[in-house]
Structure 1
Amino acid sequence: MRRGEYKVPGGKLVVAEVEVDDGVLARVNISGDFFLEPDDALGRIDEALRGLPAETSGRELAERIEAATTDAALIGFDARSVGIAVRRALGASTTWSDHSFELIQAGPLQAYQNLALDQVLVEELGAGRRGPMLRLWEWAESAVVLGSFQSVRNEVDLAAAERRGVRPVRRISGGGAMFVEPGTSITYSLYVPATLVDGMSFEQSYAFLDDWVLGALESIGVSATYVPLNDITSPAGKIGGAAQKRLAGGAVLHHVMMSYDMDADAMTDVLRIGREKLSDKGTASANKRVDPLRSQSQMAREDVVTSLLDYFRSRYTTSESKVRSAEFARVEELVESKFATKEWLHRVP
């Protein structure tokens, strides 16, 4: 019997034991610390999966389970999580422990360079020239970073941005605009193979890839939770948000920006929807700073970054790495041909 496990973020553990005979699932036993009513629904889940081809996708597995449990209550797990556990048992999906992560800190970069480096590194992973990576960003300038599909004129007061020296830029992932100044945020990117999020919905993959950072924040006294689809929040207000881009070659870019000590007045001046963003962060007045990480941890930003990295090292297999010279050369090419061009910035006017 092959064994696979999946711990639902914020939920329960699902264990799948499967036996394959002539390319089909001959035996399937699902177990875990979840809750399920009625009792006989567990046998129906096992039976629904028997006889399926071993290459059945996670989505198809989930559909079979859902059809077999229409009258059941699945508590602490769902049909997708069972499919993920089965796919892991079959070796079609991977877990964190299956990978070694390269840790990269490239130092302060211009906004264009940071965004271009994201594209370069995820493409390097997809091409097989890199393994999975975690990169901690540093910013050499203030910027407002638009999601790939956002309108410049709807999101940014360009006159205010110019007056304050804030560079408008556009990233390759979707989601909302982010305002950043040097030393006021903590930004990181995960570059992982699609096998790590195999069978997961987008919502599940967001929570799954950021589960480690919730533990890291808790270790420094910050009470953080994940709010679907892509927000990290706390009792003091929103801490940050995530965005994701999946490449056809099987590589996933997942990046997060968290507020350490943000100038709320500058943000509301530059972002047209700044006041709405502040209300989401629990801030009534623009004439103050948004600082959930600084105020809750009582730590310097550099110490918070060090603590996050130490927590990641303690949880996963890691090695220290650097951006390669050929990768930096590709970054500069992309800055000139794409990220610094008006065509890219204004592709959605």
Structure 2
Amino acid sequence: MTSEVRRGEYKVAGGKLLAADVTVEDGTIVALHINGDFFLEPDDALLRLNAALVGLPESTSVTTMTARLDNAVRGAHLVGFSTDAIAVAVRRALGFATGWADHTFEIVHPDPMPPAMHLALDEVLTTDVGAGLRPPTLRIWEWSSRAIIIGSFQSLRNEVDQEQADAEGVTVVRRISGGGAMFVEPGNAVTYSLYVPASLVEGLSFEQSYAFLDDWVLGGLRSVGIDASYKPLNDITSPLGKIGGAAQKRLANGGVLHHVTMSYDMDADKMTRVLRIGREKLSDKGTKSAKKRVDPLRSQTGLPREEIIEALKSHFRERYDTVDGALSEGELARAEQLAAEKFSNPEWTARVP
């Protein structure tokens, strides 16, 4: 009979660090010790948590573990953590989930590209990370032209004033992730994509994974003087206004795409001419004007866009194990083909008319 103790950790976004020391014998959990800087009342609830998963196979899912833990602590008060966070920490201890420290991230920051190429690279690189052909990657985008990028499920005619877009020389493209429309121009936005394996967000809902994957950029923004915070579901904001938004796509092969666009120097008048931003969308935003919804990075920092991007990259390097990298010729060739055949194809752009 083989026995070993394994340790897993999970930092709750906006909460506490939680650790799980798990003892496994012949594929079965035989002991569990939860610890961390969280708060829990009453004290004996910890004993109930520790006992809740004993006897389960080590392959037990986060959903099943969470249900067991919920039942064990009914009536208790958990502050700074949750039962599903415990389950994630246990899964990490058992090797089914990974943390940031388990990966070396490649940072790539290529030259400006057209909108369709950016969206094609998102699909290519997410697929490759899922297939284990590329390490987890942070890619900084540079735009070569104006664009409207609509979400995968948005109506083209309801979101875009095509006549105005044509008059302004704005290319309209559709991405593979959901969420809302974005208007960008070269030099007016800070956009990045994270390509990670599904193991990094193992056990996290879409809502939880947004906060989890956005946490580093909040620290990066604070390093340049912005009091940034995460606002569910997918907004990055500050006391002065919204900074940007995130979108996400999980592929069947285990690749996860998480990308964010933040406004640096928004032309609000042009944005409202080319986008149809209705009253219903603004109804819960506390403002009647789309122009007042966003407060760009330039006005909040006074810094050049390039300096902000370098600060974000430096913060990412400080937090995680990273190497500087580049896109391969093969990746670029596949993306160019996909950009031409899919993301520049009117049938894809208008797949939701």
TM-score of the superposed pair, with normalisation by structure 1? 0.96
- 1:297 is aligned, of 261, 283, 301, to 301
Farther-moved stretch of structure 1 (324-333 vs 180-189): 324-333
For residues 308 and 283 of structure 2, the distance between their equivalents in structure 1, rounded to whole angstroms, comes to: 25
Question: Residue deviations 1:176-198, cap 9 Å, x none?
Answer: 11111111110000000111111
Task: Provide the residue aligned with 2:47 in structure 1.
Answer: 43
Alignment-derived partner of residue 243 in structure 2: 239
Between the aligned partners of 2:134 and 2:298, the Cα distance in structure 1 is: 34
Residue 204 of structure 1 and its aligned partner are, at CA, apart by 1.0
Give the residue type in structure 2 aligned to 1:57: S
Match in the other structure for 1:91: 95
Q: CA deviation at 1:75?
A: 1.1
Give the structure 2 partner of residue 329 of structure 1.
333
- For 1:291 and 1:107, how far apart are their aligned partners in 2? 26
On the 8 A contact 2:53/2:69 being kept in 1, the answer is yes
Matched, 1:70 2:79: no
Which residue matches 1:32? Answer: 36
Question: In the alignment, is the contact (CA less than 8 A) between 2:12 and 2:81 conserved in 1?
Answer: yes
The answer for the alignment partner of 1:209 in structure 2 is: 213
More deviation, 288-297/257-266: 288-297
Q: Give SS of 2:187's match.
A: coil
| Distance in 1 between residues matched to 2:212 and 2:243, nearest whole Å | 17
Structural mapping, 1:98-247, within 5 Å: 98-247=102-251
Q: Is the 8 A contact 1:236 1:292 kept in 2?
A: no
Q: Does 1:3 align with 2:7?
A: yes
Q: Which runs of 5+ in 1 are unaligned?
A: none
Relative to structure 1, the CA distance from residue 97 to residue 27 in structure 2 (aligned partners, 3 Å threshold; closer, same or farther) is same
> Where in structure 2 are there 5+ consecutive unaligned residues?
none
Distance 1:36 1:46, change over 3 A: same
Distance 1:160 1:23, change over 3 A: same
1:189 maps to a residue whose letter is: S
Q: Determine if contact 1:226/1:233 at 8 Å carries over to the other structure.
A: yes
1:70, CA displacement in angstroms? 2.4
Query: Distance in 2 between the 1:232 and 1:293 partners?
Result: 12
1:272 aligns with 2:276: yes
Change beyond 3 A, Cα 1:276–1:261 = farther
What is the rounded CA distance, in whole Å, between the counterparts of 1:27 and 1:21 in structure 2? 9
TM-score w.r.t. structure 2 length? 0.95
Deviations 1:308-335 (A, max 9, x none): 1111111111111111111111111111
Deviation track 1:48-100 (CA, whole Å, cap 9, x = no partner) reads: 11111001111211111112222222111111100111111112111111111
Distance 1:82 1:279 in 2: 37
Q: What secondary structure is seen at the aligned counterpart in 2 of 1:139?
A: coil
Task: Report % sequence identity.
Answer: 61
User: 1:37 and 1:202 mapped to 2: Cα distance?
Assistant: 29
